[in-house]
A = this chain, B = another copy of it.
Amino acid sequence: MSKLSDRYDPGPQLAQCGTINLGTKNLEKSLFFFRDTLGMEEVERDGNVSYLRCYQELGHHSLVLTEQEENIVNSYSFRVKRPQDVELFYEELKRQEIEVLEIPAGSETGRGTAIRFLLPGGDHPLELYYDIEKPLAPEHMRSRLPSNSSKRRGLGVRRIDHFNLQTSPATINQAEQWARDTLGFKRREFAYLPDRPDTLLASWMSVTPQVHDLAIVANGMDKTAQLHHVAFNAQDFSDVLTAADVLRDLDVSYGVGPGKHGIGQAMYLYIFDPGSDHRVEIYAGGYMIFDPDWEAIEWKKENFPDGLTWYGDPIDVKPGSRGRDTTGSAGLHR
C-alpha cells in the first residue's frame, strides 16, 4: 500500500528555524557565552568561524559565530521541508523578481546548497537550505539518549527556538505579509501601533505549532534590518530561573527577565552576548497551536503590557536601565 500523502503535493514549505550566523568582534568572548556558559557544543572551528549546536540538535549547527569587524547578523536561515523546496523557493523568488543568490554547499560547513535574499520590507538577509550533516559528537560528549547529540551541560539550552526581527514601521506590514504569503508563516498573535491602527507593532508567526518561529517587530526608528533577539530554548521555567541566577553573577550585560510573556505564555530572559552585543533570549515553555483554525490574537493597547509581561521583570517600551530598551542591539545589517 502506498502512502496517502504520496498522492498529493504540498508545495515548498519551511520546516523550522534553522541557523543564525552572527558577526562578533570578539569570538573568544562569544564562545565563553554560548559554549562555556549556555552549554552549546562547538562542533567545528574554521579559522575565525565557529559552528555550534545545542545538546538536543542533531544537525551540524544552529549558530555560526564569525569574527569580523562589525557585530551584524550575516544571515537568518530556515530549513525547508523537502530537498526540492530550495529550488522551488528559488523559482518563486525569481517569479516575484526578488534578487536571489545561490550559496554553494559548504559555505557554511556541514550545510548543503542554500539560497539567499533580503526579506522584502525588512532587508534582513534570509537563507533557505535543506541539507545539513548530522555529525556525532566526540565520544566523551556523546549522550546515551539517542535524541540528544551531546550530554546536557552549562545552562542547558537545548535548541534554537526563534528569531525576532525588527524593521521600520514604514515597511513592517509588507515584510509580515510577504513572510505569510510566500514563506507560509501563519500569524498567531499580533498588535498594531497604538497611534497607527493599520500598522503592525508586532506579529508573532510560525510554520510549526510553536506560537512563533519568527517575530517581526516595528523598531520605531525607521531603520530596517535589525535583530531584536535570537532565542534558545530550555526545558522548563526553572531552567530560566537558574540561568538568570547564574548570569546575574557573570560579567555579561544583563537585559530583562525572567518573566512570563502573556503572548505565547513562555518564560523569557534577555541577555547580551558579551562578544557581539547581540541580544539573546533564554526561552522556555509556552503553549502549542494544534488548532488548524487558529484565529490570530490581537493585543490592544490596554492589554499589551500583560502580553509583554504576564508576570515577572516587566518589558518596557521606554529605553533605560538594565538594558530594558527594545531598540535592538548592535544588529544593523549592511
Contacts and interface: CB of A to CB of B under 8 A. Distances in A.
Interface stretch (A40-48, A102-110, A193-201, A234-242): A234-242
A70 interface: no
A144 interface: yes
A2 B95 CA distance: 13
B12 A11 contact: no
Nearest to A181: B3
A320 B302 CA distance: 17
Interface string A305-334: 010001111100000000000000000000
Contacts of A58: 291
Interface stretch (A21-29, A164-172, A223-231, A253-261): A253-261
In this complex, the interface size class of chain A, counting residues with CB under 8 Å from chain B, is 35 or more
A246 interface: yes
Instruction: Please classify the interface of chain A as helix (H, G, I), strand (E, B), loop, or mixed, using the class held by over half of its residues.
Output: loop
A25 to B, nearest CB: 22
Interface in A1-30: 1-5, 7-13, 15-17
Contact of A310 (B9, B12, B208, B245): B245
Given A147-B297, A208-B290, A258-B312, A3 B180 contact: yes
B56 A287 contact: yes
B145 A265 contact: yes
Copies in the complex: 4
A181 B4 contact: yes
A158 interface: yes
Given A145-B265, A237-B238, A310-B245, A8 B11 contact: yes
A236 B268 CA distance: 15
Contacts of A183: 4
A187 interface: no
Contacts of A290: 15-17, 79, 208
A110 to B, nearest CB: 14
Interface of A: 1-5, 7-13, 15-17, 56, 58-59, 79-82, 92, 130, 143-148, 151-153, 156, 158-159, 177-178, 180-184, 189, 208-211, 235-239, 241-242, 244-246, 248-250, 257-260, 262, 264-265, 285, 287-288, 290-292, 297, 303, 306, 310-314
Q: Which 3 residue pairs across A and B have the least CB separation, nearest first?
A: A8-B11, A16-B290, A238-B238
